[in-house]
């Protein structure tokens, strides 16, 4: 059973078509943005903040997934969740989430300070979410990753802070956390497109990477970009199938199939 939960609008970055092309069976968006569609969650109060808070998103997803696991404990579930809260301008509702981090040195960057305070509350929410997922299913694979670093006040901020010792291309490197069967595991430096292979390798108990090339098993493996571009075009060609347009945008058909 495959679920895609998106905390923003269905038409943002063509997500409904992309999810269909990838093969997700069910898609969910906040009820505030998806009138007429089936969904299990709401964005709630976003006063003074641009996006749904991660804690609100993850707590509802945890309740939903834990219930599905309890109802059918032998059913494999792929649960994909994407949040939007950690994006610029990193505004906070100070009544709900007071500032806990203040920059005291000579270097001052308002964007960095706001992002750091957001991340304080986001990591707190993620910790509770991961603990809940492990409790619901101890034999599971949990992957936490962002698509990019916070934009802050621009790339110069990272240079001024000597991010990753000023390594060339440092702003293209961020963190990924992998929890396998309740325990954190370490991988080599990977690309985002390696993540599906990590999942497939786990689901097949290591068989996938014994039979296919897996970049994350060796340092600095050369990558053929053309192959991944072809994979992307294959996905989008499936998403643009004539039947999918009717299926996705007929209000009675709903996002959930």
Closest CA to 216 of 250, 190, 234, 240: 190
Peptide bond connecting 7 to the previous residue in cis, omega within 30 degrees of 0: no
pLDDT at residue 111 in the model: 87
How many CB atoms are closer than 10 A to CB 218? Answer: 10
CA 118/CA 114 separation, integer angstroms: 6
146 and 192 in contact (C-beta within 8 Å)? no
Mean pLDDT, range 79-91, rounded to an integer: 93
Closest CA to 86 of 59, 61, 111, 64: 111
How far apart, in Å, are the Cα atoms of 27 and each of 9, 76, 151, 178, 193?
12, 17, 28, 24, 21
CA 80/CA 132 separation, integer angstroms: 16
Q: Residue 13: helix, strand or coil by DSSP? A: helix
The answer on pLDDT for 100 being more than 90 is: yes
Could you report the per-residue pLDDT of 110-133, keeping only the tens digit for each?
Answer: 889 999 999 999 999 999 999 999
For the chain, which domains are there?
2-186+240-249 (3.40.720.10)
The residues that bridge with 3 in the sheet, in sequence order, are 26, 79
pLDDT at residue 30 in the model: 97
Q: Residue 163: helix, strand or coil by DSSP? A: helix
Task: Report the predicted TM-score, pTM, of the whole model to 2 decimal places.
Answer: 0.86
Two tokens, residue 194: 């390696």
**Confidence tier at 219 by pLDDT (50, 70, 90):** low
Query: DSSP secondary-structure letter at 256?
Result: B
86 and 115 in contact (C-beta within 8 Å)? yes
CA 70/CA 148 separation, integer angstroms: 34
CA 150/CA 169 separation, integer angstroms: 15
Q: Count Cβ atoms within 10 A of the Cβ of residue 108 and give its class: 0-12 exposed, 13-18 middle, 19 or more buried.
A: exposed
pLDDT at residue 221 in the model: 55
For 254, residues 6+ apart whose C-beta sits below 8 A from its C-beta are 36, 37, 38
Could you report the per-residue pLDDT of 192-202, keeping only the tens digit for each?
Answer: 888 988 999 99
The answer on pLDDT for 51 being more than 80 is: yes
**Confidence tier at 7 by pLDDT (50, 70, 90):** very high
């Amino acid at each position: 059973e495959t679920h895609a939960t998106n905390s923003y609008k269905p038409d943002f970055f063509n997500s409904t078509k992309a999810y269909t092309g990838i093969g997700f069976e069910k898609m969910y968006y906040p009820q505030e943005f998806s009138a007429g569609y089936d969904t299990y969650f709401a964005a709630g109060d976003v006063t003074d903040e641009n996006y749904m808070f991660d804690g609100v998103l993850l707590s509802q997803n945890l309740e939903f997934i834990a219930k599905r696991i309890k109802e059918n404990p032998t059913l494999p579930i792929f649960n994909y969740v994407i949040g939007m809260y950690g994006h610029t301008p990193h505004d906070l509702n100070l009544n709900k989430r007071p500032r806990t981090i203040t920059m005291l040195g000579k270097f001052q960057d308002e964007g960095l300070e706001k992002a750091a305070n957001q991340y304080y509350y986001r990591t707190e929410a993620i910790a509770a979410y991961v603990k809940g997922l492990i409790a619901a299913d101890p034999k599971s694979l949990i992957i936490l990753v962002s698509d990019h670093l916070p934009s802050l006040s621009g790339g110069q901020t990272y240079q001024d802070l000597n991010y990753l010792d000023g390594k060339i291309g440092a702003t293209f490197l961020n963190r990924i956390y992998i929890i396998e069967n309740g325990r954190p595991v370490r991988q080599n430096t990977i690309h985002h497109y390696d993540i599906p292979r990590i999942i497939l390798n786990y689901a097949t108990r290591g068989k996938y990477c014994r039979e296919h090339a897996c970049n994350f098993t060796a340092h600095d493996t050369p990558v053929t970009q053309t192959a991944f571009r072809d994979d992307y075009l294959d996905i989008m060609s499936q998403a643009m199938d004539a039947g999918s347009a009717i299926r996705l945008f007929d209000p009675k058909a709903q996002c959930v199939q």
